[in-house]
């Protein structure tokens, strides 16, 4: 039987038979759980009702809920605590008469309920669960998603729907990047000028943060705040220029990049400020870990400040790295006084730091392994930068501990997992879901499932299924694209535009910033490049079907790729007509033209291959030239179908 679960559980044993759902389906909770289980069980019941259309008679699950012969029994030994060592193990047993979900804590039961929802199936007779025994546990204890709410503001509704997404794929950490050059995004009651002057009016109130933390706790998810210091800090200085290393006044930064403003580490007032501010914030965020950022300080303002240079000389501080070490140690003292453990990007690591800090490695596994070998706990983010629009396969095979590792056990035990990072330079609330999902589900599997679960093709198959299920929790990664296309056209006539958008992708890594547009926080993020998905699944399928046809003349594959190329060839004329009423799409004209030209040559190549003929030298040169020309991006987007055409052209040229 094909498994449609994501992440894949630790152990799965399929059995004959199935459990049929009908309107008599009921649920009870037994044991000694935390109260969060009752609202979670109610949500699961409502999701099942919504997906099946069945009118269940049971309404809200409460501690007093009791009945004879319930359809599902959830048995919990003890209340779970949402911390770094939470117990997430569970067993799920389904037979034709009943369902039992056993877990040591209610948090494990939450994970098991997500598995049960993914198991829902249907046939001609109705809805059912397959008979199965599952024993499940996570591979890593830290499986997170970082959302940058500072560069582009992400309000509470965006956060909550993405929290529901990470719960659905069994992740357990929400990391909020709260401060940045472009915005300070949280209410401070003791320093109100921070959010009043540094946010453009877009920030979380403390009540909203408490609500988000409660929302996460109900789903077994920790919340880690990040206040990025000493760099990435322009927005702080709009309110408090006296804490900076260069004279003000300051304004909120609108550009992207690594900026010069940085806190002054030579002033005692700096530490007095943080003592008070972190006192307020550590009381607001209950998790024992607290993130200080610490990355990308270029030191220019330190170098230009005579008082700082004098301070360094008097205190035998040889360089800026040592000066940041001094700053970090002072901040560490403050956080320790509030019983918090420091988390930071890998630049914060230096000799003498206590072993209970967490290093978040963004520069590579090398830094993760070095810190782990020296006794420091670490999590991996390098390779999980979801905003770079790389393919799910790349992220999926990026493992904190790869199969060929030779690291000793003493090092491995210090690698706690990883975090997806959703930086927001090129992301708005409208498109953030499409940049995070569904690829983050693949990373969630890497961090949960056994190391040997690495079948890329099967991952893509299951990810397509899970992507649609993620819509059910309120994520907008699938449906917002259609809305964006209608806005570009000013009408419902978007078919020709959709044909093109389905086979283009945003340029990868950070090249978008270097391709003719000056992006700022107020630039439009409403163009074709923004509507395009980070990875075109149609392009991937085209390449796979082309390989099947070339390999064995598969007739089904021939029909599939022929129909696609005929559609793409005919689409350019329709796209040109759309441009007359939608100038914003004009920048993609060359992409459409190249797609049509590639398709015309692709159909020729298809016929040559089918007839066992070889393209003459001139025709093959034309194919190779067009393929090379078509690699050029337009409007910061690029054609994603080139690999498939290359397969056909190479086969025709042999």
Catalytic residue numbers, as ranges = 296
| Residues forming beta bridges with residue 74, ordered by sequence position | 29, 101
Question: Which tokens hold the place of 82?
Answer: 């949402």
Q: How far apart are CA 231 and CA 192, in angstroms?
A: 21
Nearest Cα neighbor of 597 from 555, 558, 635, 639 is 639
**R_g (Cα) of the chain, nearest Å:** 27
**Residue whose token pair is 């307020």:** 280
Two structure tokens written together for 93: 């047993």
CA distance 233 to 262: 6
Structure tokens at 595: 């797609």
Q: What is the DSSP letter of 190?
A: S
CB-count burial class (<10 Å; 0-12, 13-18, 19+) for 319: exposed
CB under 8 Å to 300, separation ≥6 — which residues?
A: 260
Residues in the chain: 654
- Lookup: tokens for 115: 């598995």
Q: Distance between the two ends of the chain, CA-based, in angstroms?
A: 40
Q: How far apart are CA 200 and CA 185, in angstroms?
A: 9
Q: How many CB atoms lie within 10 A of CB 586?
A: 14
Q: 438: cis peptide before it, omega within 30°?
A: yes
The number of beta carbons lying within 10 Å of the beta carbon of residue 84 is 19
Token pair listed for 311: 């301070």
Q: Is 90 helix (H, G, I), strand (E, B) or coil?
A: strand
Tell me: cis bond preceding 230? Omega within 30 of 0 counts.
yes
Q: List beta partners, residue 118.
A: none
Q: Could you give phi then psi for residue 382, rounded to 5 degrees? A: -60, 130
């Amino acid at each position: 039987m094909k498994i449609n679960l994501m992440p894949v559980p630790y152990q799965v044993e399929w059995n004959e038979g199935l459990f049929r759902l009908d309107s008599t389906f009921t649920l009870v909770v037994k044991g000694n759980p935390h109260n969060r289980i009752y609202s979670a069980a109610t949500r699961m019941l409502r999701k099942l009702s919504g997906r099946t259309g069945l009118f269940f008679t049971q309404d809200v699950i409460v501690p007093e809920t009791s009945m004879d012969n319930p359809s599902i029994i959830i048995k919990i030994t003890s209340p779970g605590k949402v911390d770094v060592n939470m117990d997430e193990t569970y067993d799920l047993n389904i037979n034709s008469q009943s369902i039992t979900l056993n877990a040591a804590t209610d948090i494990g039961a939450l994970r098991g309920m997500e598995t049960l929802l993914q198991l829902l199936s249907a046939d001609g007779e109705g809805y059912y669960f397959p008979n199965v025994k599952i024993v499940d546990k996570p591979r890593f204890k830290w499986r997170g998603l970082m959302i940058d709410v500072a560069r582009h503001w992400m309000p509470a509704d965006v956060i909550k729907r993405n929290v529901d997404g990470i719960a659905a794929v069994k992740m357990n950490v929400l990391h909020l990047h709260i401060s940045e050059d472009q915005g300070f995004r949280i209410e401070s009651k003791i320093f109100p000028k921070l959010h009043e002057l540094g946010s453009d009016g877009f920030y979380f109130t403390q009540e909203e943060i408490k609500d988000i933390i409660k929302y996460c706790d109900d789903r077994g998810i920790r919340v880690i705040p990040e206040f990025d210091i000493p760099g990435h800090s322009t927005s702080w200085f709009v309110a408090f220029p006296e804490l900076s290393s260069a004279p003000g006044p300051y304004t909120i930064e609108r550009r992207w990049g690594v900026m010069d403003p940085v806190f002054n580490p030579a002033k005692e007032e700096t530490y007095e400020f943080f003592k008070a501010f972190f006192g307020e914030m550590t009381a607001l965020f209950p998790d024992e870990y607290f993130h200080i950022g610490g990355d990308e300080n270029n030191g220019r303002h330190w170098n230009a400040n005579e008082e700082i240079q004098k301070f360094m000389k008097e205190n035998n501080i040889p360089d800026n790295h040592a000066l940041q070490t001094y700053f970090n140690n002072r901040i560490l003292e403050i956080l320790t006084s509030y019983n918090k453990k420091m988390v930071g990007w890998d630049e914060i690591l230096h000799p003498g730091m206590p072993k209970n800090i967490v290093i978040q490695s963004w520069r590579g596994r090398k830094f993760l392994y070095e810190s782990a070998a020296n006794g420091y706990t670490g999590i991996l983010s390098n390779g999980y930068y979801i905003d770079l629009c790389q393919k799910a396969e790349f992220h999926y095979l990026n493992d904190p501990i790869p199969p060929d590792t030779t690291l000793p056990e003493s090092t491995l035990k210090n690698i706690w997992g990883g975090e997806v990072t959703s930086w927001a330079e090129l992301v708005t609330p409208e498109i953030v879901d499409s940049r995070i999902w569904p690829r983050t589900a693949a990373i969630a599997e890497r961090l949960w499932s056994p190391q040997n679960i690495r079948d890329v093709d099967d991952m893509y198959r299951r990810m397509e299924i899970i992507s649609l299920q993620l819509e059910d929790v309120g994520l907008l990664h699938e449906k917002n694209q259609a809305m964006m296309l209608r806005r570009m056209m000013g009408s419902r006539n978007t078919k020709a535009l959709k044909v093109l958008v389905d086979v283009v992708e945003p340029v990868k890594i950070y090249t978008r910033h270097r391709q003719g547009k000056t992006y700022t926080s107020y630039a439009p993020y409403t163009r074709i490049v923004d509507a395009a998905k980070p990875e075109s699944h149609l392009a991937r399928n085209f390449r796979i079907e082309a390989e099947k046809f070339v390999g064995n003349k598969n007739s089904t594959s021939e029909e599939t790729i022929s129909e696609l190329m005929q559609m793409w060839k005919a689409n350019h004329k329709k796209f040109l007509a759309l441009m007359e009423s939608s100038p914003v799409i004009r920048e993609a004209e060359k992409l459409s033209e190249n797609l049509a030209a590639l398709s015309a040559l692709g159909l020729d190549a298809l016929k040559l291959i089918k007839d066992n003929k070889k393209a003459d030298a001139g025709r093959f040169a034309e194919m190779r030239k067009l393929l090379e020309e078509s690699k050029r991006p337009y409007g910061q987007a690029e054609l994603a179908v080139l690999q498939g055409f290359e397969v056909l052209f190479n086969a025709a040229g042999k």
